[in-house]
Structure 1
């Protein structure tokens, strides 16, 4: 293998596992102000991806599947900005469970990181909602964008608790896999390519992302002058989806890969062999 090939090839899964584990330690040790600032950025980034999705799926005539796919590709903007630009996203940070399972960080470290990330993400989302409302983006396309935003928020608030929870599980399995694949890339192009397919898949299918919903639902409520969007339903969605996201990220991705590569020092043995 040439040196050029060595440095251009993707990281192997065992190497990704170690990188994710080390990343978890670094994130857990980040100071509070840094965490909050980067988390606010992540909330804003995801909100911009959500707004991009809303505009793209508005008044489309290409059919349901194709329109959703284009919307999913547009939504990828959010995670691309988070990963390449550098930010702290609650759902992606569920991968800290790998460092926790390896006893490199404690439960308090994980909960602190998740709390700060979630809080900052929510602030970033709500701040973006305020600016988007101020910019009167809802009137783009003769008001069609606003109608689409209302429909999205209504559909989310109408989900049952079990539906929202299950869709949250499936969503964050794909989001954490996108982060996992991005960690396997060596160049910006590699990372973007790793992000596109899992993220566009979860959006196209209609799974639920808690942080994105902190944009979709408040934005819909801000535009709702006729009580179309249920406030109780919005709260139910955010609670159930957040819980589902934790299950999907920690158990279905972090837990599975930890068992495969890192349990009991197994990863270290594989790395040395």
Structure 2
């Protein structure tokens, strides 16, 4: 009956096959569509981060409530990416499954990651500029603007290896959210699959490279042109010092802990055990 009405989820083996099929398509997108979709992906994650900061800026909320509600708000970004359609560097770490199965080349994998990462940066930083010009951070007596500076200062003060391992944990959860979204057959299925893993990584304070491409440039704009804050670490060098370990951690978390693990399971396990768990 569930199959008749399309209510059954795809099995784990079917998800693995879908990830590989989608990965081949993504890796072979022409340059212009790939880049434009990547700009959209960066902007969508930026919108999720904007929503998160609104929640975080409310001093009346407890720490746990801020983190959990903020994480649920941040899930807007990945929902837009999956449902509306966009290219996102962190989610595209799952392309490693198609690469491991020799369906795409190393060049195609690295080309996709490079173009999508660059497009995400343009989209996220571009959204930061638009939001800054809209004077949205001045809302609630500059409370939102001050929250951006608090968030950016904490990120830039983070040691390399702390940022790296937070990046690993973040993208393991993000790619699991993408994986589970591919199990769904409806928009509701996909949204439900996305919200909990994404809210978990945000609530735990893990590091998402594309979100940082929005949050830190916004803090830079507020400090440089909005006369809010005076942290000398909030600058372009600080941004890239943060992005390097977070990007590396995101790659390990998504590609190795999710992509390659599932590749080993569903391409090496006996057929009788492929749908276990």
Q: Under TM normalisation by the shorter chain, which class is it?
A: over 0.9
Partner of 1:92: 91
Alpha-carbon shift at residue 171 of structure 1 (Å): 0.3
Contact 1:102–1:263 (8 Å) recurs in 2: no
2:250 aligned to which of 245, 250, 257: 245
Is 1:173 the counterpart of 2:178? The answer is: no
Q: Distance in 1 between matches of 2:2 and 2:159?
A: 55
Is 1:256 the counterpart of 2:261? The answer is: yes
CA-to-aligned-CA distance 1:11-60 (integer Å, 9 cap, x gap): 01000000001011111111111101100000000001001100111123
Contact 1:98–1:255 (8 Å) recurs in 2: yes
Task: Say which SS state the counterpart of residue 259 (structure 1) adopts.
Answer: helix
CA-to-aligned-CA distance 1:224-270 (integer Å, 9 cap, x gap): 24531513433211111001000101000001100100249x67995
Partner of 2:240: 235
Partner of 1:143: 142
Question: Unpaired segments of 5 or more residues in structure 1?
Answer: none
Alpha-carbon shift at residue 84 of structure 1 (Å): 0.1
Over 3 Å counting, the alpha-carbon distance change for 1:251 and 1:240 in structure 2 is same
Q: Distance in 2 between matches of 1:269 and 1:260?
A: 9
TM-score normalised by structure 1 residue count:
0.94
Contact 1:150–1:229 (8 Å) recurs in 2: no
Alpha-carbon shift at residue 62 of structure 1 (Å): 2.6
Contact 1:167–1:241 (8 Å) recurs in 2: yes
Contact 1:46–1:78 (8 Å) recurs in 2: yes
Q: Distance in 1 between matches of 2:232 and 2:109?
A: 34
Counterparts of 1:200-239 in structure 2, within 5 Å, are 200-224=199-223, 225=227, 226-228=229-231, 230=233, 231=235, 232-239=237-244
CA-to-aligned-CA distance 1:150-192 (integer Å, 9 cap, x gap): 1000000000000000000000000000000000000000000
Over 3 Å counting, the alpha-carbon distance change for 1:254 and 1:136 in structure 2 is same
Contact 2:265–2:274 (8 Å) recurs in 1: no
Partner of 1:190: 189
Counterparts of 1:3-22 in structure 2, within 5 Å, are 3-4=3-4, 7-22=6-21
CA-to-aligned-CA distance 1:203-228 (integer Å, 9 cap, x gap): 00000000000001111111124531
Q: Distance in 2 between matches of 1:157 and 1:14?
A: 40
Q: Distance in 1 between matches of 2:274 and 2:205?
A: 38
Contact 1:40–1:124 (8 Å) recurs in 2: yes
Q: Distance in 1 between matches of 2:168 and 2:2?
A: 42
Q: Distance in 1 between matches of 2:14 and 2:271?
A: 9
Counterparts of 1:11-160 in structure 2, within 5 Å, are 11-160=10-159
